[in-house]
Amino acid sequence: MELNLADTKKWMNLFVEEVEKNKSNLNELDTAIGDGDHGTNMDRGMQAITAALEKKEPSDLAELYKTVAFAMIQKIGGASGPLYGTAFLDMSKKAKETADLTELIQVGTDGLKRRGQSDVGMKTMIDVWQPVATALKDNKFNQQAVDEALESTKDMVATKGRASYLEEKSRGHLDPGSQSSAYLFGALIKVIGV
């Protein structure tokens, strides 16, 4: 599936809206197993995305993803900044070759794995990104796939990131990074209408 520039921009704008609307939910999730600021940090990144896109209209997909990446790297901080930033930066590089969404999401997921030196099952945002990438490949991408991926993080024990210090106690809580990623892909679904 290919996603053109206009729809990708719509996707990013919807993502921004979703995160801003759910900022306190992300903070609450992060209070349970982290330090309570994932919503605040993401919100700062979202404002930066909006400002950057208003300042300069991206001329192609690669530029759009790069703009989003830089806004997030420079404004989010914490672990989420370099993670989201790396994913979108790698997607930007790939977008020079292809507009295929399946390939782009997989490249973004691989970027997350590299930057965080982590993989699926560690209770991180990869646990949403990889299932979404796989669902896209299998033509099974829809809201249910996103919800199930997010829900799967609840019973995981964190082995990477701040929540890993809680070990067993991290079980029973949704991973905040997975939740913000679920907003990202929920926004995508609204754009492509599956």
Partner 1 sequence: MKKIINKTEDIVPEMISGLVKTNPDLVKEIEGTTAVVRNDEKFAEQKQVGVVSGGGSGHEPLHAGYVGDGMLSAAVAGEVFTSPTPDQIYEAIKAVDQGQGVLLIVKNYSGDVMNFDMAKEMAEADDIEIKTIVVDDDISVENSEFTQGKRGVAGTVLVEKIVGAAARSGMNLTDLAKLGQNVIDQTKTIGIALHAATVPAVGHPGFELAKDEIEYGIGIHNERGYAVEKIKPSNQLANELIEKIMNEFTDKSGSFAVLVNGMGGTLLMEQYIFANDVLNELNDKKIDVKFSKVGNQVTSLDMQGVSLTIMKADDSWIKMLKEPVTTIGW
Query: Between residues 111 and 131, which has the closer beta carbon with respect to partner 1?
Result: 111
Binding track over 119-158 against partner 1, x by CB under 8 A: ----------------------------------------
Query: Between residues 9 and 38, which has the closer beta carbon with respect to partner 1?
Result: 38
The secondary structure of 134-171 as a DSSP string is HHHHTT--SHHHHHHHHHHTTTPPP-SSGGGGGGGGGT
d(CA 128, CA 120): 9
How many residues sit in the footprint of partner 1 (CB under 8 A)? 33
Q: Outline where the chain has alpha helix (H).
A: 5-21, 23-33, 38-55, 61-75, 80-94, 101-116, 126-137, 143-152, 176-192
Q: Which of 79, 104, 135, 146 binds partner 1 (CB under 8 A)?
A: 79
Q: Which of 8, 22, 80, 179 binds partner 1 (CB under 8 A)?
A: 80
How much helix, strand and coil, in percent to the nearest 5, is found in the chain? 70, 0, 25
With binding defined as CB under 8 A, does residue 181 bind partner 1?
A: no
Q: Which of 7, 36, 119, 171 binds partner 1 (CB under 8 A)?
A: 36
DSSP annotation of 2? B
The binding site for partner 1 (CB under 8 A) comprises: 27, 31, 34-37, 40-41, 44, 73-83, 85-86, 115-116, 159-162, 164-167, 169
